[in-house]
Structure 1
Amino acid sequence: MSTMNTTQKIQTCLEFIDQRLETTSEQTIQIAEMIIADIKHLTEGYQAAIESGNLQSHSELVRATQMNWVNQLHDIILEQTNRDLNGQVIIALQKFVNSLNENQLKHYPFELPSAVASKQPHEHDYLTQDEIDILMGQQNLFNDMVTH
């Protein structure tokens, strides 16, 4: 792992997320298809059970199938809740990007526009529009006095 450069590590993380999402999606589809197949099989078997007078054994099969799927789905939910690998990878990438930004951007000056800066605590006091108008009015008054 240490032989990889930073770009390769990021690419590996992104590929991991992509692959995991694809695999998880495929697994979900396969599970859904198996559940549907079981439901169809049980539904078809119900009519045969009525005709043969075998409702008791069909009912036991339905219950066993339901419990099997409930347990499997419960395990899937627990695994996803306990080990959200995508989340861990995304957090690692976010930390890296934040670190990259801190180290690179501290060399570049960026000043907030005055409209934004005026809303920040501990910033210089910016003049309001009324104060600007008063100052401009005084300037115009001064210019009039000088020219006359």
Structure 2
Amino acid sequence: MKNITSFVDLLFNFLYKVKKNINSKLNKQALSITKLKILKIISNSKNYATNIKKKMGFSSRTIVSILDNLEKNKLLHRKQNMKDRRIKDLYITNNGIKKLREAENINKIMLEDSFSSLDKKQIKTFKEVCNILINNKNSITKK
């Protein structure tokens, strides 16, 4: 069990460093991995804060704070829903699309760099192992 614990600690440490480095680069564009994901969700279809909350697993307060920031930076805009006044539709702006594309490129390059020491076979094996763990019927990821 100790080997698994040390392996998980290593994995968390690696992922923390990758996320920290990517966020550091994205912060220069007033973005983060989380904001990138939210812009991606909004760019793919008409969305509402409650949909994003469900997809991201964050509290309402966190989502509203992030959306406020994205709107302040003119990356998205909210518009009153014509059918339900309680809802505001979210739309990505042209500037948001531009920033999203730039951020996706930065994210892709940095992820490729982070995994560059692995060959294609090792990456394939790592992906297979992750899928096995995620789909494990006894896994906590299922609960």
Q: TM-score range by the shorter chain?
A: under 0.3
More helix by share: 1
More strand by share: 2
Between structure 1 and structure 2, the one with the greater Rg is 1
